[in-house]
Chains A and B, each alone.
Chain A
Amino acid sequence: MGIQPKKNIMPVQDPSERIHNFNEVALGYREELAVAEAQRCLNCKNRPCVEGCPINISIPDFISEIRNGNFEKAYSVIAESSSLPAVCGRVCPQETQCESKCTLGIKFEPVAIGRLERFVADYHNSNSKDTIKRHTTINKKIAVVGSGPSGLACAGELAKKGYQVTVFEALHKVGGVLIYGIPEFRLPKSIVDKEIESLKSYGVQFKTNIVIGKTITVDELMEEYSAVFIGTGAGLPKFMGIKGEGLNGVYSANEFLTRANLMKAYANSSTPIMQAKNVAVIGGGNVAMDAARTALRLGAENVYIVYRRSMKELPARKEEIEHAEEEGIQFELLRNPVEIIGYTNADNQRDNKNGYVKGLKVRKCVLGEPDERGRRRPIEIENSEYVIDVDCVIEAIGTSPNPLIKNTTPRIKFSDNNCIVVDGAGKTSEDGIYAGGDAVTGAATVILAMGAGKAAAIAIDKYLSKANK
């Protein structure tokens, strides 16, 4: 029997139904599908996929276990490297990481590694009765600042080594971007909660409602803890700096998604969110797709992705773009927003539409020469402006790191764009203080943040073991 050239198709909720609910879009492989997909793995000797994984999961080994029907064993293999497999299986950009290296992918579609990872994690979460409480074995306390992907990965790794880990979270709920940013339909919050429960069983403590840099400073943490890991993540949203950004109906993606996800504004909560009819989302990354698809589910009739470059340059995960297209998101590509137009009724100051968005003026672009990052630069075409009729504009053009720690712990070295400067292992300019994730790199992915958290945990362990001798 020859190798099946294509991935086994992921069952999904039908687009016409899912645009009316917040339930998860991708439904996951059943056992038979998972085993069939696992059989596509060549189990090649040089294992390039492992190199492609930022946290170096032993991919062929867990796939072999799936092939043999040992799903729990497959989970143990993944758990050696990853603290959050159910999350990564859902949100990693596998097509540019592990799957891009897959040998099978040279001739056919690569093995669906991400879908298999998700299958294993979900299988474990619904079947395992593993409630073993682990106890901390090393009499050293470590503080982790921020409970997003980098913080959770760092905390998990250190707890497994036996350290006493306390994670500090500014919000009222643990999980960082996994909770406030990534929508329910892409990453159910119950999955995140389960992963956090599993960290708690390893002895990790979580303290919410504490803003490091305000409630407690990093220096104060250093008095009580042997080491500190800073994973404060993405900070202030960037805005384009065009006219009209102060109008009502203009959101940063962070705000729009936080209202929807963290505050559950879609579920009749007490937090309001604008239920716009026509929505433009500026940007082309995963966050832009999340915002667009959330707006659709909140009842919008037309949702546009407005992006300066072409489909080929869209930075979002392929699967998210496909899902967005299936759901009817409209792509306004090669369009650069130049102004957000507001409604003004000069005759009636009390017209309650005054001050609200009524359109987004864009200019057409063509692609020019590649820039320093190798992406083709958009060049505006003169006199090509037109207005897209919208009542809501969501800007998803990135973030700059949170300023709170810089303001209160200036002795840590920061780069010109306010990112924390670290060495290869995640150590900052100060002994005992480590950092990782978006606070170091600027806006990036969940898995890169997890990789950084894990690397810093290893470095912290080395540092503290040395200090012991």
Chain B
Amino acid sequence: MFKIVSKRKLNSTVTMMEIYAPLVAKKAQAGQFIILRVNDDGERIPLTIAGFDREAGTVKIIFQIVGATTALLNIKNAGEYIQDFVGPLGCATRIDGISKVCIVGGGVGCAIALPLAQKLHEAGAEVHSIIGFRNKDLIILEDEFKRCSDKLTVMTDDGSYGGKGFVTAPLEEAINSGENYDEVFAIGPLIMMKSVVAVTKQKKVPTTVSMNPIMIDGTGMCGGCRLTVGGNIKFACVDGPDFNGFDVDFDEAIVRSAMYKEFEARACKNCNLLKSEVK
């Protein structure tokens, strides 16, 4: 059992938790993920590591309530326990040789983009961050991004805060205005990453994306997390989760991510507890 040390609501659907897991905290690096189960007959879900404190032995996770399991996790409070917590899994994000970077985060993906921005900032790189949300109420981690970015652009789809529109607009503008990024990192919904890559591929700016497909074991056993990258099958859990954005078959990944949509909808609908929570 793993103790929830702290819990903070970031917005109406996104929650941050710190979990006491010293072995994971000791090895965790930006870009890696963990797998957890909330209770004994729960499903295994992957969550990218949003931060860690090696001395305190804690790992930070930030999750959006998207289905039954995340809703169940959100009901737990600080001081309570979750059943399983394993990691760190996957490969750390590679940042060597990068002196100027643009980090593009979308929605809850910003939670994963943040430790990367911090790591690059600490390594002395010039960090430009573009973070996008549906509206003002859903903005998370703005102050944290401010602290580690040389330049921060906040976008909302409806224009209720910051710039109006998608993250791709300021990114394209920056590249057009001559910002020479060594690398662009895009972390967020699949459709956002696909759109970012559409911009950067045309401008020939190397782009890394962080994939978060459906997984079970997360250790390279089941093959459920496979993606087509450069025409070959790759496994996000051991080959990723970072991939060269130019090579990822996003359309396939988008269809695969929706494989259990109906099941998820049913699971949420059937559970009274979740119904009341989601309200």
* Contact surface of A with B, Cβ cutoff 8 Å: 170-172, 180, 208-211, 214-216, 234-237, 239, 241, 245-249, 251-252, 254-255, 258-259, 262-264, 269-272, 274, 352, 354-355, 402-404
Contacts and interface: CB of A to CB of B under 8 A. Distances in A.
Contact of B221 (A210, A258, A354): A258
Contacts of A235: 220-221
A209 B219 CA distance: 11
Given A264-B41, A270-B267, A209 B86 contact: yes
Contacts of A274: 259
B44 A211 contact: no
B41 A269 contact: yes
A264 B41 CA distance: 8
A391 to B, nearest CB: 12
B223 A252 contact: yes
A284 to B, nearest CB: 19
B267 A255 contact: no
Contact of A403 (B87, B238, B264): B238
Given A172-B86, A402-B219, A245 B263 contact: no
A234 B217 CA distance: 13
Contact of A236 (B23, B89, B220): B220
B27 A236 contact: no
Contacts of A258: 216-217, 221-222
B23 A215 contact: yes
Main secondary structure of the interface of B (DSSP, over half): mixed
B86 A246 contact: no
Contact of A211 (B42, B86, B259, B262): B86
Contacts of B258: 248, 355
B182 interface: no
Nearest to B39: A270
Contacts of B84: 172, 208-209
Contacts of B191: none
A236 B235 contact: yes
Contacts of B69: 270
Contacts of B262: 352
A237 B223 contact: yes
A236 B221 contact: yes
Nearest to B232: A241
Given A246-B228, A246-B252, A263-B43, A211 B87 contact: yes
A203 B82 CA distance: 27
B87 A215 contact: yes
A255 B222 contact: yes
A402 B222 CA distance: 11
- A-B interface, 3 closest residue pairs, ranked by CB to CB distance from nearest: A355-B255, A252-B223, A272-B263
B233 A245 contact: yes
9 contacts: A236-B220, A239-B233, A241-B233, A246-B252, A247-B255, A254-B223, A255-B223, A402-B221, A402-B238
Interface string B256-268: 1011111110010
